[in-house]
Structure 1
Amino acid sequence: MDGVGQILFWLIVIALGILIRLNHAVKYSCLNENGDPVDWFIVYKLPDINKHTNSYVKHGLGYLYLDSRNIFWTFGSNSINSSQCALGRTVGQIYSSKADPEIFRLLYNDAHPKNKSDSYRGHTKGVLLFDTSAGYWLMHSVPQFPSRDTYSYPESGRRNGQSILCVSFATSSLHEIARQLRLYQPSIYDSQLSTQLAQFIPELQEVVAGKALRKGPYFTHATINSAGGTPFSNFAKHKKWGKDIYADFMAPNLKQSLFVQTWLNGPRELPSDCASDYKVNNLRSVKLTGVEFLSSKDHSKWALSVDKRNPYVCIGDINRQAKNRGDDRRSSEGNRNSRNAQEVGQNELRQLRTQNPPVAKTSDQNRRALKEQEQKLINKRSEIQAKIKEKSALARSGRAQNNMQQVKTALIQKKQYEKQLDLYNNFIGDIEALRGELENVSQDQELQNFIEEQRVMSNAISDVLARPTGDDLTEEEENELTVELEELLKE
Structure 2
Amino acid sequence: MVSLVALLLGALLWVPGGALRCLGETGNPVDWFVIYKLPARSGPGNEAWRGLSYRYLDGSLGGWRDGVGLINSSQGALGRSLQPLYRANASQLAFLLYNDQPSELAWAADVSSHGHSKGIVLLDQEGGFWLVHSVPRFPPPLSSGAYNWPHSAQHNGQTLICVSFPFTEFTKIGRQLAYIFPFVYDHRLDGIFAQKFPDLMAVAQGQHVRQEPWNSSVTLTSQAGAQFQSFAKAGKFGDDLYSGWLAEALGTDLQVQFWPNSPGILPSNCSGPWKVLNVNQISFPGPGGPTFSSTEDHSKWCVAPRQQWACVGDMNRNHGEEHRGGGTLCAQLPVLWKAFQPLVKAFKPCEGDR
Q: TM-score range by the shorter chain?
A: 0.7 to 0.9
Given that residues 239 and 322 in structure 2 are in contact (C-alpha distance below 8 angstroms), is that contact kept between their aligned partners in structure 1?
yes
Q: Is 1:323–2:320 an aligned residue pair?
A: yes
- The C-alpha deviation readout for 1:13-64, integer Å capped at 9, x for no partner, is xxxxxxxx996253421001111110000000000126x5453795110000
Letter of the 2:124 partner, please give it: D
Partner SS for 1:178: helix
Match of 2:184 in 1: 188
Paired residue for 1:99, among 63, 66, 89?
Answer: 89
Partner SS for 2:292: strand
Match of 1:261 in 2: 257
C-alpha distance in structure 2 between counterparts of 1:218 and 1:297, whole Å: 32
Match of 1:222 in 2: 218
Partner SS for 2:89: coil
Match of 1:32 in 2: 24
C-alpha distance in structure 1 between counterparts of 2:103 and 2:241, whole Å: 27
- Report the Cα offset of residue 103 of structure 1: 2.3
C-alpha distance in structure 2 between counterparts of 1:280 and 1:22, whole Å: 43
C-alpha distance in structure 2 between counterparts of 1:184 and 1:57, whole Å: 37
**TM-score scaled by structure 1?**
0.59
Partner SS for 1:315: strand
C-alpha distance in structure 2 between counterparts of 1:284 and 1:200, whole Å: 43
- Report the Cα offset of residue 91 of structure 1: 1.5
Paired residue for 1:65, among 53, 56, 69?
Answer: 56
C-alpha distance in structure 1 between counterparts of 2:14 and 2:231, whole Å: 25
C-alpha distance in structure 2 between counterparts of 1:285 and 1:226, whole Å: 32
Within 5 A, what are the aligned runs for 1:365-384?
Answer: none
Match of 2:336 in 1: none
Given that residues 180 and 232 in structure 2 are in contact (C-alpha distance below 8 angstroms), is that contact kept between their aligned partners in structure 1?
yes
Q: Is 1:83–2:88 an aligned residue pair?
A: no
- The C-alpha deviation readout for 1:99-121, integer Å capped at 9, x for no partner, is 34442210000011115452121
Match of 1:483 in 2: none
Within 5 A, what are the aligned runs for 1:172-251?
Answer: 172-251=168-247
- The C-alpha deviation readout for 1:345-365, integer Å capped at 9, x for no partner, is xxxxxxxxxxxxxxxxxxxxx
More strand, by proportion: 2
**TM-score scaled by structure 2?**
0.82
RMSD, matched Cα: 1.9
Match of 2:124 in 1: 131
Letter of the 2:236 partner, please give it: K
Larger radius of gyration: 1
C-alpha distance in structure 1 between counterparts of 2:92 and 2:86, whole Å: 14
Partner SS for 2:65: strand
Count residues with an aligned counterpart.
303
% identity of equivalent residues: 39
Partner SS for 1:247: helix
Paired residue for 2:166, among 149, 155, 170?
Answer: 170
Gaps of 5+ in 2: 1-12, 325-354
Paired residue for 1:158, among 154, 160, 170?
Answer: 154
- Structure 1 runs of 4+ aligned residues shifted over 4 Å read none
- The C-alpha deviation readout for 1:161-217, integer Å capped at 9, x for no partner, is 000000000110011111101011110111001211222222222122111422121
Closer, same or farther in 2 for the Cα pair 1:235/1:206, shift >3 Å?
same
C-alpha distance in structure 2 between counterparts of 1:110 and 1:27, whole Å: 29
More helix, by proportion: 1
Q: Is 1:111–2:101 an aligned residue pair?
A: yes
